[in-house]
């Protein structure tokens, strides 16, 4: 059996690393940037919009980064030991990432997810061998958080709970990987960073790193415009349980995004840029365009959390035929 140390070891870089890695976990990170050339909508020629494609992570989303870091931290602290089960609440992507990491390391995983997460997410988690407990879909991610706390309280010795909403290793993953990658990939030219809010780990950790390199870099968060939205995986902070790792004072700006606008950008990114992305990526691009239209020059990096293949059965695609596509 592959040891945890071997599974968690990282190659130096994709170019300098071994021809074959010993674990899927070594493939986390080093995701590419792509320039937006058509979905620009009135943006000045001197402004670049670069999308970071986190769907290239082995588990299919940006959540691979914090999931791996939280498990590494649990092992290092002796909180995750043989015989324990990994338990956490999730709206989908973190659950998939934890299931992948658990499978690679040989640890069982139990996940609490809202009952209305996409069919693709449910099946992907099951494919990695994780057990799923479904919470009330009407209560969203907050309902999953509450049910997960109840399960843990009933049998605390059985579980290791990474607690993605309050674990600083979540933000640290992005401080150590996402931020440095963006800084390197743009050769320090980035002027604005845009990301959506779920746990807040992505924007907190990445933003901190980038501001340490250049204090003038602006960090902008995108969230749903109201509590009753259809952008899976995102939080409307004013109406939600606020994650302990989220500190709004560190942001330069926060934008509210309408569900319909986010969906429309998903459709356009597919047709005009050849990128099939998820709902939160659509929201992120709406925010990136708003930021970019206010500039005469600059480099806006927008983080796209995942690809769209895990949303094809959701409401995102209802009415697609009216917009020039076809519905199977």
Percent of residues, the chain, with pLDDT higher than 90: 72
Distance CA 68, CA 231 (A): 25
More confident call, 231 vs 10 = 231
Are 254 and 223 in contact by the 8 Å Cβ rule? The answer is: yes
Q: What confidence tens digit (pLDDT) does each residue in 179-214 have?
A: 999 999 999 999 999 999 988 999 999 999 999 999
- Residue 320, pLDDT score: 57
Residue 63 appears among annotated catalytic residues: yes
- Residue 133, pLDDT score: 95
Q: Record the tokens describing residue 137, joined without a space.
A: 């879909």
- Residue 225, pLDDT score: 82
Residue 13 has pLDDT above 70, yes or no: no
Q: Out of 23, 52, 61, 63, pick the active-site residue.
A: 63
Residue 265 has pLDDT above 70, yes or no: yes
Q: What confidence tens digit (pLDDT) does each residue in 143-168 have?
A: 988 999 999 999 999 999 998 889 99
Distance CA 127, CA 21 (A): 22
What would the DSSP string read from start to end of 3-14? -HHHHH---S-T
- Residue 128, pLDDT score: 96
Res. 9 pLDDT band, cuts 50 70 90: low
Residue 175 has pLDDT above 70, yes or no: yes
Distance CA 79, CA 150 (A): 19
Average pLDDT over residues 297-317: 91
Q: What confidence tens digit (pLDDT) does each residue in 118-131 have?
A: 888 889 999 999 99
Residue 280 appears among annotated catalytic residues: yes
Least confident residue range of 91-105, 132-146, 189-203, 286-300: 132-146
Q: Out of 61, 91, 141, 280, pick the active-site residue.
A: 280
Q: Record the tokens describing residue 98, joined without a space.
A: 């934890």
Integer CA distances (angstroms), 267 to 92, 116, 257, 277, 281, in order: 22, 22, 16, 9, 11
Gyration radius of the chain over CA positions: 19
Please name each of the domains of the chain with its CATH number: 4-56+177-323 (3.40.50.1100), 64-160 (3.40.50.1100)
């Amino acid at each position: 059996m592959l040891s945890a140390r071997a599974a968690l070891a990282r190659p130096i870089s994709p170019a300098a690393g071994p021809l074959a890695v010993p674990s899927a976990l070594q493939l986390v990170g080093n995701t590419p940037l792509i320039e937006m050339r058509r979905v620009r909508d009135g943006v000045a020629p001197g402004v670049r919009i670069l999308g970071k494609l986190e769907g290239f992570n082995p588990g299919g989303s940006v959540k691979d980064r914090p999931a791996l870091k939280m498990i590494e931290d649990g092992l290092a602290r002796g909180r995750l030991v043989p015989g324990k089960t990994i338990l956490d609440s999730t709206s989908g992507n973190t659950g998939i990432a934890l299931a992948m990491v658990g499978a690679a390391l040989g640890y069982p995983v139990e996940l609490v997810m809202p009952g209305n997460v996409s069919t693709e997410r449910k099946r992907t988690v099951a494919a990695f061998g994780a057990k799923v407990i479904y919470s009330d879909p009407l209560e969203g991610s907050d309902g999953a958080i509450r049910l997960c706390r109840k399960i843990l309280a009933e049998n605390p010795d059985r579980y290791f709970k990474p607690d993605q909403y309050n674990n600083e290793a979540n933000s640290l993953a992005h401080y150590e990987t996402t931020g440095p990658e963006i800084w390197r990939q743009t050769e320090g030219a980035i002027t604005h960073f845009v990301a959506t809010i779920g746990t807040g780990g992505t924007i907190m950790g990445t933003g901190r790193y980038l501001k340490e390199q250049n204090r003038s870099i602006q960090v902008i968060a995108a969230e749903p415009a109201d509590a009753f939205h259809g952008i899976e995986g995102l939080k409307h902070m004013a109406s939600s349980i606020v994650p302990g790792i989220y500190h709004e004072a560190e942001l330069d700006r926060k934008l509210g995004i309408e569900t319909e606008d986010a969906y429309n950008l998903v459709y356009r990114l597919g047709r005009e840029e050849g990128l099939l992305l998820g709902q939160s990526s659509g929201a992120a691009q709406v925010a990136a365009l708003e930021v970019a239209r206010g500039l005469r020059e600059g480099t806006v990096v927008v983080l796209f959390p995942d690809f769209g293949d895990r949303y094809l059965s959701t409401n995102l695609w209802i009415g697609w035929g009216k917009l020039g596509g076809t519905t199977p």
